[in-house]
Amino acid sequence: MKRIVIFASGSGSNAENIIQFFKKTKIARVTTVLCNTESAKVFDRCKKLEVKCLHFKRSDFSTSDNVLNLLKKEADFIILAGFLWKIPQSIIDNFPNKIINIHPALLPKYGGKGMYGMSVHRAVKENNETVTGITIHFVNANYDEGAIIFQAKTALDHQDSPESIAQKIHLLEQKHFPNVIETIILKENA
Ligand code: GAR
């Protein structure tokens, strides 16, 4: 049974979906959710699902090994599900091809620093894109630049608002993210 640790910064709808998905399988479990935002909704979701959710500070993450040491104890795979901060090199070095991020656009478009959540959907709308989607990728030292594992697209029309785009992306994320993680874990087990 592989152990998954999820990083989240906000609502945690992806974290919840992944937790529920793996509770029904025998291949992995979410052991811990780590969150850098004290008031985030993900804490309530985890409480309901009876999964440990821990808050950590920038200093635990970037200038000490507190988070790294916890991951060494508790994680085989690390999932970034709406997580805002850049992953330190020490964590990347310890978990090569074991850190997976979801991005709410078709990378390499609309990626990079500051491109998070609604800011992505607003940029997609401003550019009158006729298609957007999700990208699931391995994490390397640069924001949104690791090897792409999976993309799924959704059509847009002129009536779409940033909010309706967010809704379409949410549906794609709920449908695909846990399955893609499962495929990666099964490949490693093979
Ligand atoms: C998701 O749409 C995820 O793709 C996005 O944040 C949202 C988090 O929602 N991630 C990024 O923008 C990363 N650059 P959630 O907290 O409800 O899972």
Any idea where the domains of the chain sit in the sequence?
Answer: 2-189
CATH architecture type of domain 2-189: 3-Layer(aba) Sandwich (3.40)
| Interval between CA 172 and ligand 1 midpoint (Å) | 12
User: 64, 72, 71: which is closest to 6 by C-alpha?
Assistant: 71
Q: What is the value of pTM for the model shown?
A: 0.95
The span from the CA of 84 to the CA of 103, in Å, is 11
Tens digit of each residue's pLDDT, the chain (190 residues):
999 999 999 999 999 999 999 999 999 999 999 999 999 999 999 999 999 999 999 999 988 999 999 999 999 999 999 999 999 999 999 999 999 999 999 999 999 888 999 999 999 999 999 999 999 999 987 777 899 999 999 999 999 999 999 999 999 999 999 999 999 999 987 7
Q: Which atom belonging to ligand 1 lies closest to the Cα atom of 116? A: 12
Q: How far is the CA of 13 from the centre of ligand 1 (A)?
A: 8
The set of catalytic residues is 103
Query: What does the block give as tokens for 76?
Result: 């085989």
Q: Which atom of ligand 1 is nearest the CA belonging to 10?
A: 16
H-run or E-run covering 74: helix 66-74
Alpha carbon 171 to its chain centroid, in Å, reads 15
Beta pairing partners, 153 = 133
Beta bridge partners of 134: 152
Distance 170 CA to ligand 1 centre (A): 9
DSSP-derived letter for residue 102 is E
8-state DSSP, 86: P
